[in-house]
Amino acid sequence: MKSLYIAWKDFKIRVKDRKGFVMMLLTPLLLTAILGFALNSVMGGDGGFSETTVGVYIEESDELADGFVKEVLPSMSFMVVKRGDSEEEIRELLKDKKIDVGILFPKEWSKELQEGKLKDVMVLGKPDQQVKTAVVETVLKSYGEQVQMYALTTATVMTDLTSSVAASNGEIDFGQVALEVQNGLQSVDVGTVAEKSVGQKYVSSMQYYAAAMAVMFLLYNMTLGAKSIIQERTTETLARLSVTPTSSMSILCGKFLGTLMFAFIQFLVFLTATSLFFQVDWGSNLFQVIAIGFCYSVAVSGLSMTVAAFVSDEKTTDAISGIGIQLLAVLGGSMLPIYLFPKTVQTVASITPNKWALTSFLDIMSGVSWNELYLPMTVLMMVGILSLAIGTWKLKAN
């Protein structure tokens, strides 16, 4: 009960802080509007993806390259294909802004496919069309990976069949098997390629930056919560509390719950505001959004306790708030779409809780089941619990 009283006291202090109110709610709403509308023409404004004109040149006739151009790209409603007769023509079309992305298939692209190899394809893009270029690259990569996997699997099956007893007895028609394999290879599941490659990216710019700003500004509670503890430690408010019948554990839990309450309510207010004012579609399942928002609030609140335990002055906390959180925001995808980063950077970004929260919100917007959210929910809760345990242990020791 005493922990709840302390939490409520901290919550009221933050709500009455006008500067904090502007920073934690009005600023993220403003940035969401600016970034969402500014990138509307690139990422699409209606929950889909804006039309993308792809110029293609195939140096030499190739069945798989033709299949990609004639079946995979047109299967996505926002893709428009324009064939070119030479590499120079594609580059010229890109320069004249008649296409958004260019694809140059090399000679004999799939010649070594049976060995699981494909030659590199050159994808040309423009600085102002990085998102569209990234989507085309991902679609192409997904298609190539599926084709290579199919070819290697087929080669393994054929090898096993050749050495089987049935083959030695002449019971297998290798001509028919080869024909079926060839037909299967030419009919790689286009739908699967599209779904795999677009996935979480198939959201509007307003949706993306609503989620991105939410996770970035909730991250500031990490330093705000820590700063509250540091201030009370400096003014000896915590010392006076410690001589009352209130235990140190109740005090620390109250500080944690105060940050958690403010962060979660901040998220709910932001969620409501973006839905009403910007018509942001957060997905078909509101409970999923709230669940991720709560788990992320727990993670941020737990981290605030760890920061307070290892930082002794407000200046260092301000430095973390100014520089550290901005670095986390960039790494977690709040500044630039996370799928534009190299795979290595995306892997490194997995150490940040805001990346887990952002990708989860984007997945929810794309439509996922609860099974897909159990891992990020577990990660975020574990970050919060472990950080809280470390922070309270260190603070009690001090």
CA 284 to chain centre: 18
pLDDT digits (tens, 9 = 90+) for 60-93: 888 888 888 888 888 766 788 898 889 999 999 9
Tell me if 9 sits within 8 A of 258, measured CB to CB: yes
pLDDT tens digit string along 141-186?
777 777 776 666 666 655 655 555 444 455 555 455 445 554 554 4
Instruction: Count the alpha carbons within 13 Å of 81 in the hemisphere toward its beta carbon.
Output: 19
Same structural domain, 55 and 29:
no
**Cα gap 81→87, rounded to integer Å:** 15
Which residue type occupies 395?
A: L
Strands 101-105, 122-124: pairing is: antiparallel
350 and 229 co-located in one domain: yes
Q: Can you give the length of the chain in residues? A: 398
Q: Are 301 and 10 in contact (CB under 8 A)?
A: no
C-alpha separations of 114 from 117, 149, 186, 336 in Å: 7, 10, 14, 38
pLDDT for the residue 50? 62
Domain count across the chain: 2
Answer yes or no: do 19 and 99 share one domain.
no
pLDDT of residue 379: 95
Q: Is residue 215 located within the same domain as residue 267? A: yes
pLDDT (tens digit per residue) in 331-365: 888 877 776 677 787 788 889 999 999 999 988 98
* Phi, psi angles (nearest 5°) of residue 104: -115, 105
pLDDT (average), residues 265-272: 91
| Same domain, residue pair 13 and 142 | no
The 52-58 sheet, strands edge to edge: 79-83, 52-58, 101-105, 122-124
- Do 140 and 288 have their domain in common? no
Domain, as residue range, for 98: 50-200
215 shares a domain with 119:
no
Q: What is the CATH number of the domain that holds 71?
A: 3.40.1710
Phi then psi dihedrals of residue 343, to 5 deg: -55, -35
Q: Where does a domain end: 200, 216, 236?
A: 200
224 lies in the same domain as 373:
yes
CA distance 220 to 20: 10
Q: Please state the rounded mean pLDDT for residues 253-269.
A: 89
CA angle 311, 316, 322 (to 5 degrees): 125
Mean residue pLDDT across the chain: 77
Residue with structure tokens 């260190």?
394
Q: Please, are residues 366 and 203 in contact by the beta-carbon 8 Å criterion?
A: yes
Helix (H) or strand (E) holding 58: strand 52-58
Predicted pLDDT of residue 282: 92
Residues forming a β-bridge with 105: 58
User: Can you give the C-alpha Rg of the chain in angstroms?
Assistant: 27
Identify the DSSP state of 285: -
**Phi/psi-derived region of residue 126, left when phi > 0, alpha when psi is between -120 and 50, beta in every other case:** beta
- Contacts of residue 386, defined as CB under 8 A and 6 or more positions apart, other chains included, come to 302
Structure tokens, 385? 């619990």
Taking the CA of residue 126 as centre, how many other CA atoms within 13 Å lie in the half-sphere pointing to its CB? 19
Residues 179 and 130 in one domain: yes
State whether 37 and 98 are in the same domain. Answer: no
Where a domain ends, among 142, 165, 200?
Answer: 200
Rounded Cα distance between 108 and 254, Å, is: 67
pLDDT tens per residue, range 9-61: 777 777 777 666 666 667 777 777 766 655 555 555 444 456 788 999 998 88
Does 123 share its domain with 20?
A: no
Residue 115 CB: number of other CB atoms within 10 A? 11
Of 174, 200, 226, the last residue of a domain is: 200
At residue 164, the 3 state secondary structure works out as coil
pLDDT for the residue 1: 63
- Pair 166, 213 in one domain: no
- CA 263 vs. chain centroid, Å, equals 21
